[in-house]
Structure 1
Amino acid sequence: MSSVMPGLMSMVLFSLNRSFPSSIRGLNYWAASAVCIAVTAVLFALRGAVPDGVSVIVANTSMLVGIGLSLIGTELFFGRQPSWRFVIVTILFGSASISWMLWVHPNYFGRLSCITALLAVLYAAHARLLLFFGGRNFNTLFLGLMFLALTIASAIRCATSMSPGDVAPDIFARDPVQLVYLAINNFMALLVTVGFVMVATNRLHAQLERQSATDPLTGLLNRRAFAVLHAKAQERARRLGRSLTMLIVDLDHFKTINDRYGHDTGDRVLVDFAERVASVLGPYDYLARFGGEEFAILLADASAQEAFGRASAIRQLVQVQVDCDLPTYTCSIGVACLDAADATLARLSSVADRALYRAKSGGRNRVELTDEALATG
């Protein structure tokens, strides 16, 4: 079981690595780690049937390599700098120490203390990474707790191996502590690989959800996600007896920018606009790309006059050239402010569109309110 199950899970992880998007990194290291753990289990089981150099040195080195690779994979998965130096030094030190205590100064319990201490260090680094930097979701916490349990088990086994008493120097000796330690490691080896699969599939699910809710060019909300947030905002405004405000923003003469400078520059203008406007919005304001050069902004707790002031600030911000590699551009903004009961997305969009039409008819690079917004404000 100790060799077969990690081996099978490595096949699953390798398959996921090939089918998942390249933005989800580290799965190949997790799969290679599972292979190393499977090889380790086989070599330990062959103790006495193969040379000690293989069943002791290669087996323990393979185990350290496997745990180290899993740590590297998790660091890549969470976008952190891989700690290759730490892992390589740990593996080399462990391999050299095991070799010394096998061939130069034979000491079974010394080898056991050394390998369990190094495993505890690697497990602790992994647990810290998952629990402190992996986010607060069930799958990550589950995996972090598994590595924490492995850390504790290895530390306890290291401590007990320093005072072995009358226990026989054999990995399969009938020592209750050793039997419990082996059982925990075998069980956790399976749970950890299952945990890797759970964390990876959870990341894919979150990424697909995010992609379905955002505009691929600007990274802003798309119309579908904006509609969901609008419904929540309308319910909140209705409950509090407040109005709801929406801005429709259109970049002026955007077709001319595309024709004169090319569509690549046009795309960069859209991204520039999205980044600059998003940077000045509040935490409960929502900015979405409705399509082409048209954007929508839902403002939290803003009257018509307050919305007009904020829209004017956005208009002034946009017309200032920040990136010398981009052409100067301006925008026109229509403001809609309605009582929450009437502020459906269709109604707000219609009112804001009429105000936007007035802004464009009035010469562009303007902010306009409709009569409905003035009455509400």
Structure 2
Amino acid sequence: MVLHIPTLLVVSVFIFFLMSLLTFHAWLRETRERPLAYLGGMMLLAAVGMVLVSLRDQGADYVPKVLGNMTLLLSAAFNWTAMRVFTGRAPHLPGMLAGAAVWLGLCLCLVPSFYQSMTVRVSVYSLLVASYGLLTMLEFWRSRQRLEVAYLPALALTLLHTVFYSVRAVIDQGLGLDQALKGYGAGVPFFSFMLFESMLYVIGIAYVTLSMVKEQVELRLKAAAFCDALTGIGNRRAFMVNGERMLIECRRRGESVALLLCDLDHFKRLNDAFGHQTGDQALIAFSQVLTQTLRKQDVFARIGGEEFACLLATADEQTAIQVAERIREGFAHLPLLAPGLLSVSIGVVSSQTAGYELSRLLSQADEALYGAKDQGRNRVQTVTRGTSVLQLS
């Protein structure tokens, strides 16, 4: 069965235009999602390009042959750019214009084998579109390790679209407009299928891109819910969730876990004397000390005010004391303020004495922390004993 080509042309233009409006509407509701803007532009350019290439035999051949195909190639470039931006890379303007520029150059040179041969034009156009498809797949491939969304449907759609145009470059001989409108000729079935494939691809890529963007936004919101806005490390919720997970895993493997509870000394006095901006800088600086001192498998977070908690995997009490001392000394020697003004008290407890229940570990570490405060601050202390330190002058 051969589909009616004039109807397909009208329907494809309508679908491209409608999908572009819907995509632009989604982008305007969330203007930070730039991939939607490029995707909407791709569909709008596809609609305009389809109209232009349909204007054959109207006395101005340069409109369908030059402007129409350049617009469609820009549409393919916008599709690539949408996925490029989605994966976190900046738009590449020379690459976006390259396909249309190649087409314009070939047309302006008036190469007889190109300008007068529909078969050659179809092959060149199809290869350029397939090239943008390959670039799009490359963007997904190079970002596969850090993309946390389900990108495989978009990759599969792009692969099928690219394969189709690669095949078209070889087998399609081109179809005159009069033949297309009258529905006769050897190329009518393939031309009909091409229009149908284009509509399916636009609808499919719009749906999966919206789905990926939605998933990415949800991941960002989830990350924000588990992140301390000031320091950029985890918050109390993140610590409780990730800490419980670590304790379950270490208990299953029979490994010791240690908890450090850190409290910046005289923080209120620091705020009163130097202002809240300096207090914020001290919190950020301490979080950076934790990031530099602790391992990737450790869990640490700001759990409230000037209080931080750290869970050390596969660490006994003695190891935890050594780590706590490095944190204390690293913070005390920061050049943020004069020597002696920055200090932290740290309470230490391990699963060897408190077990693997997070609430119990926090309670006993809090007891050790208050012991460090009572002993004069700027020190590391366990539940049963303290470690004296050299006071900074």
Provide TM-score, normalisation by structure 2.
Answer: 0.84
Residues 211-222 of structure 1 aligned to structure 2 (within 5 Å) = 211-222=224-235
Instruction: Find the partner of 2:380 among 367, 370, 377.
Output: 367
SS at match of 1:226: helix
Which one is further off, 59-68 or 152-161?
152-161
Cα 1:276/1:57, change in 2 over 3 Å:
same
Answer whether contact 1:244 1:337 (CA < 8 A) is retained: yes
Partner of 1:352: 365
Cα 1:102/1:350, change in 2 over 3 Å:
farther
Cα 1:71/1:50, change in 2 over 3 Å:
farther
Answer whether contact 1:40 1:63 (CA < 8 A) is retained: yes
Counterparts of 1:244 and 1:208 in 2: how far apart (Å)? 30
Partner of 1:258: 271
Instruction: Find the partner of 1:281 among 266, 275, 294.
Output: 294
1:106-163, Cα deviation, whole Å (9 max, x unpaired)? 22122212211111111111111022215455631211222222222212211224xx
Partner of 1:150: 161
SS at match of 1:3: helix
1:80-115, Cα deviation, whole Å (9 max, x unpaired)? 132111222322222343464699942212221221
Which one is further off, 95-104 or 301-310?
95-104
Is 1:5 aligned to residue 15 of structure 2? yes
Cα 1:124/1:322, change in 2 over 3 Å:
farther
Counterparts of 1:188 and 1:317 in 2: how far apart (Å)? 56
SS at match of 1:214: coil
Cα 1:40/1:249, change in 2 over 3 Å:
same
Cα 1:66/1:296, change in 2 over 3 Å:
same
Counterparts of 1:265 and 1:349 in 2: how far apart (Å)? 28
Counterparts of 2:218 and 2:57 in 1: how far apart (Å)? 47
1:278-324, Cα deviation, whole Å (9 max, x unpaired)? 12211210111111111110110111111111111111111122558
Q: Aligned pair count? A: 369
Q: Which runs of 5+ in 1 are unaligned?
A: none
How many angstroms does 1:13 deviate by? 2.4
Partner of 2:69: 60
Instruction: Find the partner of 2:84 among 75, 79, 83.
Output: 75
Partner of 1:303: 316
Partner of 2:136: 126
How many angstroms does 1:7 deviate by? 2.5
SS at match of 2:257: strand
Partner of 2:3: none
Counterparts of 1:50 and 1:364 in 2: how far apart (Å)? 89
Counterparts of 2:126 and 2:142 in 1: how far apart (Å)? 24
How many angstroms does 1:241 deviate by? 3.2
Partner of 1:115: 125
SS at match of 2:150: helix
Counterparts of 2:169 and 2:133 in 1: how far apart (Å)? 13
Answer whether contact 1:338 1:373 (CA < 8 A) is retained: no
SS at match of 2:232: coil
Counterparts of 1:49 and 1:125 in 2: how far apart (Å)? 35
Cα 1:18/1:229, change in 2 over 3 Å:
same
Is 1:31 aligned to residue 73 of structure 2? no
Partner of 1:87: 96
1:43-74, Cα deviation, whole Å (9 max, x unpaired)? 34554568443333322121111221232233
Counterparts of 1:302 and 1:105 in 2: how far apart (Å)? 74
Is 1:17 aligned to residue 30 of structure 2? no
Cα 1:114/1:21, change in 2 over 3 Å:
closer
SS at match of 1:139: coil
How many angstroms does 1:25 deviate by? 3.3
Residues 109-258 of structure 1 aligned to structure 2 (within 5 Å) = 109-134=119-144, 135=146, 139-161=150-172, 164=173, 168-170=175-177, 172=180, 173-175=185-187, 176-258=189-271
SS at match of 2:348: strand
SS at match of 2:311: strand
Answer whether contact 1:32 1:66 (CA < 8 A) is retained: yes
Answer whether contact 1:251 1:330 (CA < 8 A) is retained: yes
Percent identity of equivalent pairs: 28
Counterparts of 1:271 and 1:327 in 2: how far apart (Å)? 18
1:9-62, Cα deviation, whole Å (9 max, x unpaired)? 32332223223263x433212211121112223334554568443333322121
Answer whether contact 2:259 2:311 (CA < 8 A) is retained: yes
Which structure 1 residue ranges, 4+ long, deviate > 6 Å from structure 2? 101-104, 324-327
AA aligned to 2:94 is: R
Answer whether contact 2:106 2:114 (CA < 8 A) is retained: no
Provide TM-score, normalisation by structure 1.
Answer: 0.87
